[in-house]
Amino acid sequence: MSDQQLAEILRFKAILLCEGLEVSEEVIKTTQEAGIQFDMGRQGGAGPAGGRYFKFSNGSIVNTPLFRAPYDHSTYRIRSISATHEVQLEKKHTHQIPRNNEQEIPSTNNSFAPSHPIQQGSSNDHPFQQNLSEDHPQIHLIPTPEFYRQENEEGIPFKKIALMHGDTTLATTINQRCRYWQGNQQCQFCGLELSLQSDATIDVKSGKQLVDTIGIARTENPQFAGHLTLTIGTTPTKDKGMQEYLDVISTIRQTYPTVPIHIQIEPMQDLTWYQRLKDAGATTIGIHLEILDDDARSKICPGKAHISKSTYYQHWDQALAVFGKNQVSTFILTGFYQNLTLFKQQLREVLAHGVLPVITPARHLNGTSLAPTFTPVIDFLEILEFAAHVCHELGIDPTANRAGCIRCGGCSSLIDAYRLQSGKVNLS
């Protein structure tokens, strides 16, 4: 695949992440009548929800939000999905990635939306930010797994225990409750307990339940559950759920000693937990700052914001000492910055600690208090290009990450940008 094709995939993936796809009721009905399982994606749970997974020809995955027609902020709509899951798209209007001094921002009620125009040089300074060609890269819908229809020995549908993210990642939240929800201090973008309210999941998953789910998933497709992503709500206990992780991971390791396991935590008081988690069998870890701007973080994440950045830095350093280079990550949401230059400076601080950022646009979910928030595609591409450049500069390699959101890449394009820069492509 040529550098130009890789660049087209990166740029189109950025559009899909930032804008999503419009889909009509007619297309949904026609697709379902053709025997293809099609829905709008999970509407709650941890991480970016409200989307479906699609695959590019080079294997890159994108989890793009879907919006029922009419939806004004997407450039593309789904026209049809074939029996082979090939997606036919059509442009609603011509998408021209604007120059830095031509940036227009969709209206938003979010007080932390970026101020523009951003004048930091011409688009020729940013080779990722050229206009897309008329022919967008082909994408295929990743089918809904068949094992979702089956139940375990307790009569619980497997889809309530764990879900496939992309075509290799099996993911679950081992405890669906978070203490911040009890005091109305949850992150405004979080849909963790919404999936409980809609009966889409169960509140606690055991190691045995996950072992059985891995088995049934791999029976359907040996590529399924190639690596695991385990998340947890912040529990009211002193250890913030770390003992639950130990129990689940230890049980999984008895049956699957080599499957890479990613876990996600909030900084806890006792730093010795990192070694215990690693010894139990965790492979990679995510410690999620979420938002770089302190004012925005205190508003959007009122519960987690009591933990200072310096505490995150301390925990990142300790986790890196235990889990190793390229195995520690943090989610960074775009859409909450006033100044892109400052955002990139703060992002460099994250990377300077050796932490891989899962850079993804903030995504609104029905039922959450976060107002619709938009990241301009040109900003997103500039951020990705910057992050990839700093990774090369500091010797950080996202492609070496062994498990979890970085490896999956469905919600972020860091690996795509890193690989493109590795080829030293010039698109100008």
Domain-wise residue ranges, the chain: 3-95+118-422
Q: Which CATH architecture has domain 3-95+118-422?
A: Alpha-Beta Barrel (3.20)
202's CB contacts (< 8 A; 6+ apart) are 156, 160, 161, 176
Cα–Cα distance between 141 and 84 in angstroms, integer?
Answer: 9
pLDDT digits (tens), the chain, 428 positions? 788 899 999 999 999 999 999 999 999 999 999 998 887 765 555 556 668 999 999 999 999 999 888 888 899 999 999 999 999 999 986 544 443 333 333 333 333 333 332 223 334 444 444 544 557 999 999 999 999 999 999 999 999 999 999 999 999 999 999 999 888 899 988 888 888 888 999 999 999 999 999 999 999 999 999 999 999 999 999 999 999 999 999 999 999 999 999 999 999 999 999 999 999 999 999 999 999 999 999 999 999 999 999 999 999 999 999 999 999 999 999 988 889 999 999 999 999 999 999 999 988 777 777 777 889 999 999 999 999 999 999 999 999 999 999 999 999 999 999 999 887 444 33
CA–CA separation, 131 and 170 (whole Å): 35
Q: Let me know: does 361 contact 332? Beta carbons within 8 Å.
A: no
* Helix extents (H) in 198-288: 207-220, 242-255, 273-280
